[in-house]
Structure formats: C-alpha cells, structure tokens
Amino acid sequence: MAIPLSYNLRNLAVRRTTTVMTALGIGLTVAVLMAVMALAEGLRTSFQATGHPLNVLVMRRGATSELTSIINRESYQTLRAKAGIARTASGEPMASLEMVTCLNLVSEENPAGMNINLRGLLPIGLTMRDLKISSGRMFQQGRREIVVGKGIASRYPAAHVGGKMKVGRNQWDVVGVFDAGRSAMNSEMLGDLNLVAAEYRRSEALSSVLIRATDEVAAQAVINDLTNDRALTVTPLLERSYYEGQMSSAAPVRFIGTLVAIVLAVGSSFAAMNTMFAAVARRSAEIGTLRVLGFSRHGILVSFLFESLMLSLLGGLLGIVLALPLNNFSTGIGSIVTFSEIVFQFQVTPRLMMIGVAFSLLMGAIGGFFPARSAARREILSALRG
C-alpha cells in the first residue's frame, strides 16, 4: 500500500526552515551549472550563426586563423576566376579579399586593454554578410572610417559613433555601429581594405579571401579544387566550419565551471542526505505507526525517496530562477585561436532548464536513497520506542 503524497508535502511544510535551506543549497549548485552551460551555449550559438552556408573561407595552407594567414593580390585574382563562384547582378565574382589585424581597446573591465579584430574588406565583402547599421552609417571607401559591431560598442567607450581610434599611424573616425544578429561578427570592426593595409604597410600581405559559391555542390567542388591546386598552396573551408572550430575557446571555462558544479553537487547531496536522516530520526514513531497501519517497507522507502526528490525538484526550480537573469547577458571571452575577444550573450534555453532539473533530481536521488532505506529497514517496535 502506497503512502499518500499529502503526507510528504505536509512534512516538507512543517520543516520549512530545513526545507528552504536544503533547497537553496541545491538551487545554488544548479545555478552554477546552468551559468556554465549558458556561457557555452551562447558561444556555440554565436559561432553557428556566423557565416553564410555557401561562403568558403580561403587562407594560407597551414594557417590556423585569418590573423596568421597571408594571401597576396595575385592569388586573389586567380581565385576570382575559379569555376563555381557566384556572381552579382553586374557579373562581378563574389570574392572578397580581406585583411584581419588587432586593435587594443581599453575599458573599465579591462584597464590593460583587450585585442579586438579589425577587418579591412572590399565593398563586395559587405554584400556577402548580413549586416544592419543600427546607428550612424556605413564607412565609405577611401576614407579613414570604421564601423564597429554592437557587441564592441556596448563594452568599450571609444567604440561609439563620433569616437576616434588609432589605426596604424593615424586616427580613424567611428561612423557607425552595425548589428550582425547573434553572430561573432558583432565582435569585429570593419574598414576599407586598401586603407587598412596601407596603415600597416601590408599592401600585398593580406589575410584571406571569402568566396560565395553558387550552391552546396559548387561549394564542395571549390574546396576540392583549391585543396588540390599546388600552385596556390591554400586551405579552403566553409566559413561556418571555421567559426565552429573556435569553440575550443570555451573549453577551459566549461571544464572549470563543471568541476566547481560537481564539487558543489557532492556537498548538496550530503546536505540533502543529512536533512533526510534528521527527518528519519525525528519521525521514528511515525515510521513505526505507518508499519502498524499496514504500510510496507517498500512503500516507506518509496515515500521517503520521493520526498527527497520533491525537495531537490524545489531546489532545481530555484536554481533556474537564479540563472534566468543571465539570459541574453552580454560578455566577452578571449579566443585562443584568433588572440582577440569574442563578445556573445548567455543563452538559458529550455534544454538547459531540463538539464538543470534532471541534475537536481539526481542529487536528490543520491542524497535521499540511504536515509529512505534506513527508514524502510526499521523494525516496528524499535521505531515506536524511538
């Protein structure tokens, strides 16, 4: 015979102080775990949202990022003539020669400064990307002007419309802020390719070429063609694959955060266990009475275990509430691939909430099993004497 659920709810209500403290401990553990997962999810979403599925990024063979790649203008002209490249309405090949370098920007959070990607690109490069100007205007070719991603503008005082930044040997004007959705492009600044290259005296030693293929089959054909071209010595890959490969930036943070969450989970499981053992000790007479009334050992085991699970569920829901304010919170992390900061937003998704609840129930099951078994194994007479 099963013990009514109302019995467990009443006991949790009667021991409200202990219930709240234990649930809070479990909730904090769940909140820590969810914060780490929300960080990794936000970074993953940012990288996955970057790039067009038909864009092929071409770098020097052996380069691990655009920052360490070198492509000259002669190679660019050869690449533009390749088959399978999409064309604009005017018949121009959709291939953008680009240069990537870093600027050091200072903020209150980073007084020593943080590296931010500055990308010099051709007009065709702008049409190949989904960018919207949210304030100000787009930079003009032939002028020392730059536009900054909204992620940069929100974190660095110098990156606002009307501000000035030192690029190479001169001061450049910030004329606009662009919005690239959730993509990693929000962590970059854009300017005219030829002027950016001239500032750093790199008129020939540029970084990469971005190519738009006509379709998925053509994209793979372009990749195969460039890979087998021994004269060019380049490494082509889908733009999205390039950015997804940068997920390694979140690995150290995710590892440390998960380790902290596991340590806290052990402590929370012991807290739940202590709470349930104390409940068993205080309710010894109740346990004996339940046995006299005909409730089986198995019924008592299930009842006490279920009570622990309800306690942990309460903690899991509390942890979700504590983690929800992090949703869409903007932050930045240094990339070990590009040696620059990537700005992104925490993402607390329904899937992460389900993981948080499951994690709390696991802690409740571990912390409640042994006290529940202890209650179920008590003899009737000894329980009544207790």
Residue 123: strand, helix, or coil: helix
DSSP symbols for 210-242: EEEBSSHHHHHHHHHHHHH-TTT-EEEEEHHHH
At 147 the pLDDT is 95
Tokens of 13: 């209500």
Residues 6+ apart with CB under 8 A from 255: none
DSSP symbols for 12-76: HHHTHHHHHHHHHHHHHHHHHHHHHHHHHHHHHHHHHTSS-TTEEEEEETT-SSGGG--B-HHHH
Give the residue among 28, 9, 31 at the shortest CA–CA distance from 271.
28
CA–centroid distance for 231 within its chain: 39
The answer to whether the CB of 57 falls within 8 A of the CB of 208 is yes
Please tell me the number of Cα atoms within 13 Å of 94 on its side-chain side.
Answer: 21
Rounded average pLDDT over 237-262 = 75
Instruction: Give the integer Cα–Cα distance in Å for 188 and 379.
Output: 70
Residue 125 CB neighbours (<10 A) = 19
Tokens of 271: 């807290």
135, exposed or middle or buried, with CB in 10 Å at 0-12, 13-18, 19+?
middle
Written as one letter, the residue type at 39 is L
Instruction: Give the integer Cα–Cα distance in Å for 101 and 110.
Output: 19
Rounded average pLDDT over 353-377 = 80
At 353 the pLDDT is 92
Mean pLDDT of the chain: 83
Please, which residues bridge with residue 193 across strands?
Answer: none
State pLDDT tens for residues 149-204: 998 888 888 888 988 999 988 999 999 999 988 888 888 999 999 999 999 999 88
CA–centroid distance for 317 within its chain: 22
The answer to whether the CB of 105 falls within 8 A of the CB of 113 is yes
State pLDDT tens for residues 29-73: 888 888 888 888 887 787 777 788 999 999 999 888 898 899 999
The answer to whether the CB of 52 falls within 8 A of the CB of 239 is yes
- Tokens 């007084």: give the residue: 111
Identity of the highest mean pLDDT range in 24-28, 210-214, 327-331, 333-337: 210-214
At 185 the pLDDT is 87
pLDDT over 70 at 136, yes or no: yes
At 4 the pLDDT is 63
Secondary structure tally for the chain: helices H, strands E: 13, 12
At 71 the pLDDT is 93
At 364 the pLDDT is 81
Give the residue among 26, 44, 66 at the shortest CA–CA distance from 276.
26
Percentage of the chain lying above the pLDDT 90 cut = 34
φ, ψ dihedrals at 53, nearest 5°: -60, -20
State pLDDT tens for residues 218-231: 999 999 999 998 88
Instruction: Give the integer Cα–Cα distance in Å for 121 and 348.
Output: 35
Beta pairing class for 188-192 and 114-121: parallel
State pLDDT tens for residues 311-329: 888 888 999 999 999 988 8
- Higher-confidence residue of 235 and 282: namely 235
DSSP secondary-structure letter at 90?
A: T
pLDDT over 70 at 287, yes or no: no
Residues 6+ apart with CB under 8 A from 277: 370, 371, 374
State pLDDT tens for residues 6-17: 766 777 777 777
Please work out, in degrees rounded to the nearest 5, the angle formed at the alpha carbon of residue 181 by the alpha carbons of 178 and 187: 60
pLDDT band at residue 118 using 50, 70 and 90 as cut-offs: very high
At 259 the pLDDT is 76
At 197 the pLDDT is 94
Please, which residues bridge with residue 71 across strands?
Answer: 206
Helix axes 251-282, 16-48, angle to 10 degrees: 160
pLDDT band at residue 113 using 50, 70 and 90 as cut-offs: confident
